[in-house]
Chain A
Amino acid sequence: MVNAERALDALGDPTRRRVLKRLRSGSRSVGDIAQGLDVSRPAVSQHLKVLRSAGLVAVRAEGTRRLYAVDTRGLDALRGWLDGFWDKALVAFKAEAEREERKRS
């Protein structure tokens, strides 16, 4: 629960949402992320720090570079909620569609 709350808090900032979007296509360095965003490198670093502590971004070292990537854990609670909802709805939908199909044949 704490994780999800922090994730939502982190995502409340539009720049952080843009940073996360930049990472969806793969790992990037800070400089790479800052490019194309109208934000300084130190500011991007600060945003990455918040995203990391919220479990939305992970970092790994590659040689002397630090590469940032999306971490799926941060949104797990939110996804769990929608996951459960759609499970329930789709099972009910399946039953109804199959009833309708039997009626037709």
Chain B
Amino acid sequence: MTVQTTSTETDPNCVRKSITVRARPDVAWRVFTEKMGTWWPLANYKIGKAKAVDAVIEPRVGGRWYERGDDGSTCDWGRVLTWEPHSRLVLTWDIDANWQPDPTLNTEVEVRFIADGKDTRVALEHRRLDRFGARRDEMRRIFDTEGDWGRLLEMFARAAAA
């Protein structure tokens, strides 16, 4: 498995991931921030009704993070809190577990790009997960139905078993 979960996890409020990429930090940064549409699983993970063709991060603090549909429509996923090129990015993640937008959610995703010789270690932390709890009614519905959540958990179980 190329993606590692930090095993000494004690904070239930966040998910931590780390992956080593055979690319230099500036390249890794550029692909993550400027070319997100080339790797984000847009077929399954998008909000809008239109077919999603790109995922965009506006390159500045306060910038939007959004998807663009093939009809030109856009849907916000969050916004940029920290913008430190080639080293650190913090975004708000305002998408609930049913893949619906919720601008008040404000969970956070921090991505750090750490040089390691010619490689880059990319460390991701998705935190403040207890904020999902403020939307418990919606979340309960998701648990109660065979919606996205169940499908995602199933995918996760398959991936974990592979």
Question: A81 is contacted by which of B17, B19, B137, B149 (Cβ under 8 Å)?
Answer: B149
- The secondary-structure label for the interface of chain A is helix
Nearest to B3 among chain A residues (CB) is: A87
Q: Is A37 an interface residue (CB 8 A)?
A: no
Q: Of B9, B30, B144, which contacts A72 at CB under 8 A?
A: B9
A71-102 CB mask vs B (1 if < 8 Å, else 0) is 11111111111111111111111111110110
| Contact in complex: B132, A11 (CB < 8 Å) | yes
The residues of A that contact B149 with a CB separation of less than 8 Å are 81
Q: What range describes how many residues of B lie at the interface?
A: 35 or more
Given contacts A72-B9, A78-B97, A80-B156, contact A98 B15 (CB under 8 A): no
A24-71 residues with Cβ-Cβ distance < 8 A to B are 24, 56, 70-71
Closest chain B CB from A24 CB (angstroms) = 7
Which residue from B24, B32, B136, B159 sits with its C-beta under 8 Å from A84?
B159
Which residues on the A side are within 8 Å of B122 (C-beta)?
Answer: 90, 93-94
Which one of B38-46, B58-66, B75-83, B84-92 is at the A interface? Answer: B38-46
Asked whether, in the complex, the Cβ of B132 is within 8 Å of the Cβ of A87, the reply is no
Inter-chain contact B32/A97, CB cutoff 8 Å: yes
A8 and B15 form a contact (CB under 8 A): no
Contact between A78 and B132 (Cβ–Cβ < 8 Å)? Answer: yes
* Distance, CA A86 to CA B122, complexed state (A): 12
